[in-house]
Amino acid sequence: MAADLPPSTSLQPPTNKRLDWRTIPWWLVAIGLIIAFMGFRIISDPEYTRIFETILTGLGTTLMVTGVSFICALILGLVLGLGRVSRNLILRNLSIGYIEFIRGVPILVLIFTISFAIVPALSNGIGLNASNISLTARAIIALVLIYAAYIAEIFRAGIESISRGQMEAARSLGMTHGQAMRYVILPQAFRNVLPALGNDLIAILKDSSLVSVLGVREITQVSRLSVSSSFKYEETYFILTAFYLTMTLVLSLLLQWLQRKMSSNVH
């Protein structure tokens, strides 16, 4: 009977766990305090409020450039990644050549080259007027072409991390190579590369500031224009830093949550 059991055999979990200070994410606390301090300054100081509202006008462009660039780069990167591991000699060498070319040139140089040389040349080649292509569209094209190369390497590593036995087992069940890749290899590879893809999404968000050199009115460009007219360097760049810090922190926490969710579903 349960009443006869000694106290040590109770199945109730202990409820008075002591907080271990070593498990507290102090880095998150520190960043949160910085963001909270900047939020207080924005609310309490009219000058900070005005600059915040000015920078906020470029936030939509920053998020749009980042989101569209990442989705398109993900698709192109997957195609390049499949070409990278293809048994077709031409496809494999074309993919490797493209990836090595992109990785061998600084991102800022590539943004200038793609926006002012490659896009006009290609548009003129197919009979389009290059002046009709906006600077925002050129910036997105540049980020897509650049980050597709980095994402291709991530997919390549993910595909190669799956054991050959998985492919052989799928083929033994009668699947074609394409079906085995689509239904067996890629789902597992995608789960393995999710953290790396998250890092690239954050990297695109930060590198979207580089397209300010094209005159795209995202938050960095709006901040530069605000500084040139007000000379409020300290206030403007502190707020701009807080903007990027908040966005990257939110993205990082969301990705960590998604990763834990997927891991729990697997187990």
How do residues 110-169 score in pLDDT, each as one tens digit? 999 999 999 999 988 888 887 888 999 999 999 999 999 999 999 999 999 888 888 888
pLDDT confidence of residue 201: 94
Q: What is the mean pLDDT of residues 34-54?
A: 93
pLDDT confidence of residue 69: 96
Burial group, residue 41, by CB count within 10 angstroms (0-12, 13-18, 19+): middle
What pLDDT, in 10s, does the model give residues 207-259?
A: 999 999 998 999 999 999 999 988 899 999 999 999 999 999 999 999 888 88
Share of the chain above pLDDT 70, in %: 92
How far apart CA 153 and CA 213 sit, in angstroms, is 27
Residue 137: what residue type? A
Residues with Cβ within 8 Å of residue 201, at least 6 apart in sequence: 66, 70, 251, 255
Tokens of 51: 């600059």
Q: Is the pLDDT of residue 33 over 80?
A: yes
Residues with Cβ within 8 Å of residue 50, at least 6 apart in sequence: none
- The model carries a pTM of 0.84
pLDDT confidence of residue 162: 86
For the chain, the first-to-last Cα distance in angstroms comes to 35
Q: Which stretches does DSSP call E strand in 33-132?
A: none
